[in-house]
Amino acid sequence: MEFKTLFPIMKKHLADGDDVPYFFRELMAMLTTVTEDEWGTGKDPSVKLSDETIRSYTKRKLPKKLASSIVYRLTPEVMVERINEHSDASRRLLADDLKGYDATLNADNVAEAISGWMVEIVQESAGLVPQDALQKQQQQQLASDLKIRYGDYLLSETDGYCPFPGCGKQLTITNKGKAVHTYEVSLIDKGKPAVPDNLIAMCPQCYATYLLDDSKKLSRELKEIKNILSTHKQSVHLLDDLPLEKGIVGVIRKVKKLGEKELVGTSFDPKEIKQKLSPSQDMALYIAVNSYVTTYYPQIKEIMMNLDKRGEIDYDEIQDQIHAFYKRLKKANKSRLETFNEIAGKIHRVTLQDELYCQIVVSYFVQSCEVFDAITK
C-alpha cells in the first residue's frame, strides 16, 4: 500500500470536510506521540511544513526525513481509536473502498488494517527494509525463545517501562482485571550473540521498528541505556539483604507533614556538605542535598530524637543501617550520585513513601556523616 493511494481514500471518509493540509496534520497527530499542546514547539513534524508542501506529500511517497523523524514515535493504537470513533456506516464505506487491497475488510477491522499500513508506509519511507515471510518466521521464533529464557529478568530490569529513547510506555497493563505483560525481547547489537548483556526488553512497537533498523548510532544508545539499567539492577541487589528499621516510615510521614510554619526560622548552615560533595564534580547533587539540609535538618533531627525517646525507632540502629548501605555501595565503586539515588531508592522500596521525601531523609544522613566520607584532597 502506498501513501498516495491510501491518503485520498482516508480523507474521503474520515476528514469530515477538512481540507488536505488540515487532515494531513490530523493524521500525523493520530500516528505520533506528539500531543496537541506541543504543536508548534518543533517536536511535531507536521507543523514544520507549509500547506503546499503537505499537498505535495499526499501525492507521492512520504519523504525519508519526515518518516525518520516519527518512525520511533508511532502510536497505531491511537489511530485505531480515532478511526473507530467514526460511525459504522462511514467505516463500512471506507472498508468497501479498500477491499481491492484486502477482501476481508469490514467496518470492524478496517481501522486495524489502516493503522498497520500506515506503520509500514512510515517504516519503508524511513528506509527500514521490511522482512520477507521466512525472516519474519525466524525472528518470531527467536523472540519467543528469548522471552521464555530471559523475559522475566529483562522486564524487571526496566522497572516496567519501555527504555527505548523517547518512549517510556508501560510494559505491564491491566486488562479485564488481569495484569498483562506487553513487551518483546530484542538484541541490542544484532551482530552479537543473544546473551543477557546484549538483550533488552521494550514495547512491541519499538521492538517491531528497531527490528528493521540497522543504525549503529541507535545501537550504541541502547547499549548505554542497557548499562544504566544493569548498573541500577546490580545496586538494588547489593542492598537487598540489608535491613532497614520499619520505624523510618514514621519519620518520613512526619517530614511530609512539615509546612512552611514549622520550617521558617529553623534553617541550618550545612558546613559538612562541602566536605562530602564537590560542587565542581557533583553540582546538581550538591545543590539538592545542600538545599534539603538547610531547610529540613533541624526538624528531622528533632523528629528522630523524639521518636527514639518514645521507643518508636532505634536511632542508633537506623544510623548503622544507613551507613551499612553506604559502605556496601562504596565497596562496589558506585559514584556519589548513584549511591545517593540507590539509598533513597532502598528507603522508597521499603517504606513505599514518596521518593522526594526519601531523598530528604538521605540528605539528613549525609550531613550527620552516615553517608559519604570526607573528600580527600
Residues sharing a CB contact under 8 Å with residue 149, sequence separation 6 or more, in sequence order: none
Confidence of residue 40 (pLDDT cuts 50, 70, 90): very low
- 198 and 269 assigned to the same domain: no
Q: What are phi and psi of 170, to 5 degrees?
A: -65, 140
Q: What are phi and psi of 231, to 5 degrees?
A: -65, -45
Query: Residue 230 sits in which domain range?
Result: 133-239
- 191 and 174 assigned to the same domain: yes
Where a domain ends, among 80, 96, 125? 125
Q: Give the residue carrying C-alpha cell 518512549.
A: 167
Q: What H or E segment, with its residue span, contains residue 249?
A: helix 248-257
- Provide the grid cell at 227: 548499562
Q: pLDDT tens for residues 237-284?
A: 888 877 777 778 888 888 877 776 666 655 556 667 778 888 888 899
- 89 and 117 assigned to the same domain: yes
- 112 and 56 assigned to the same domain: yes
Query: What is the C-alpha to C-alpha distance for residues 86 and 146, in angstroms, rounded to an integer?
Result: 40
Q: Answer for the pair 171, 182: CB distance below 8 angstroms, yes or no.
A: yes
Residue 23 has pLDDT above 90, yes or no: yes
* Assigned domain for 223 exists: yes
Question: Domain total for the chain?
Answer: 3
- 287 and 347 assigned to the same domain: yes
Q: pLDDT tens for residues 317-342?
A: 888 999 999 999 999 999 999 999 99
Give strand pairing partners of 172. Answer: 181
Query: What is the C-alpha to C-alpha distance for residues 231 and 86, in angstroms, rounded to an integer?
Result: 48
